[in-house]
Amino acid sequence: MSLDFLLHPTSYLGGVSGNLSAYLCFSAILFVFGLIAALSRRSTIGIFMGIELILNAAALNFVVFQVMKKDLAAQNWLHGHMFSLFIIILAAIEAAVALAIILRAFGSKGTINSDRISELKG
């Protein structure tokens, strides 16, 4: 890539708001960071936040496809938006239950480190 990119960044980045791949890249990055957080954090709250990132990436993808794909946009019922809405609602339920479990575990074990809450391990 030549130095043109630095001199005229606008000509390369123009039209990014209508570019399907740009959104997909963004949500892929979000997904991967969420995965890293969920796999490597030891705090259960950290794991939970990673899962929230993954859910957000997925929900964004649904809307992007709905808005940009011509055959989907021609349909009446906005299936992509509906999926995102349901993801957001279910995430709220998940948050309530997960944090109730976390607080309970903290109450009985005194820690929320997932390595030390391991009584169910066989």
CA-to-CA distance for 52 and 76, rounded, in angstroms?
29
Phi-psi region of 8 (alpha: psi -120 to 50; beta: other; left: phi over 0): beta
- The answer to whether residue 102 forms part of the interface with another protein (CB under 8 A) is yes
3-22 positions binding another protein, by CB under 8 A: 10-11, 13-18, 20-22
Choose which of 76, 119, 120, 121 interacts with another protein (CB under 8 A): 76
Q: What is the per-residue binding string for another protein in 29-48, x denoting contact by CB under 8 A? A: xxxxxxxxx-xxxxx-xx-x
Position 82 contacts another protein (CB under 8 A): yes
Residue 80: alpha-carbon gap to chain centroid? 15
| 12 Cβ neighbours under 8 A, 6+ residues apart | 4, 5
Instruction: Tell me: does residue 58 bind another protein (CB under 8 A).
Output: no
